[in-house]
Amino acid sequence: MNRPIAVEEEIDRQIEHIRDVMNLSGKPVNALPGRQILLVRNARYHMAGYLPHETAMPTSQGYIVFQGDPTPSSEARGGILRFVAEEDLRTPDYDRARKVIQLWVNRSYLSLVLEQLKHRRHYLWIGFFDNGHTYADLHSDP
């Protein structure tokens, strides 16, 4: 087994913090997808307009596509962070087949994320807990 790197240890500390703050029972799920950590190499910005289906109103969405490398305990190769209206928020997800972390955030956080992407180091991660709790976020270091 590979030795954990600093980012993995930081995520482990955050998992314990999440468990404490949210009174989660049990331990984090260790089997895949368990937790996935993507060390971000680059980000591509997208704005899209679309029609969800024939009877719907046209809408739009901003999103960022991340490419990077997994940490030693992970398999993630990419990520998608979508900026949506509050009513369109979804549970974070990990697509095992594509090895992609998917995260939907309120569009009001766009300016914060753009500021984070000015930092030197970024990673996107997702964690799954045995009681169905899912948590994901984008981290950055100035």
Q: pLDDT tens digit string along 55-99?
A: 989 988 899 999 999 999 899 999 999 999 999 999 999 999 999
Determine what percent of the chain is predicted with pLDDT higher than 70.
Answer: 85
Number of domains the chain contains: 1
At residue 89, what are phi and psi to the nearest 5 degrees? -65, 145
Domain housing 33:
6-49+57-141
Q: What is the pLDDT of residue 59?
A: 86
DSSP per-residue codes, the chain: -PPPPHHHHHHHHHHHHHHHHTT--S-B--STTSEEEEEEEEEEEEEEEE-SSTTSPPEEEEEEEEEEEE-TT----EEEEEEE-GGG----EEETTTTEEEEEEEGGGHHHHHHHTTSSEEEEEEEEBTTS-EEEEEEEE-
pLDDT at 32: 46
User: Would 80 be classed as within a structural domain?
Assistant: yes
Q: What pLDDT, on a 0 to 100 scale, did the predictor assign at position 131?
A: 73
Average pLDDT of the residues in 14-29 = 65
* pLDDT single digits (tens) 97-125: 999 999 999 999 999 999 999 999 999 99
> Is 109 part of any domain?
yes
> Can you tell me the mean pLDDT for 44-57?
90
- The pLDDT confidence band at residue 1, using thresholds 50, 70 and 90, is very low
Q: Evaluate whether residue 129 is within a structural domain.
A: yes
CA-based max dimension of the chain: 53
1 in a structural domain: no
Q: How confident is the model at residue 136 (pLDDT cuts 50, 70, 90)?
A: very high
Supply 96's token pair: 């095992």
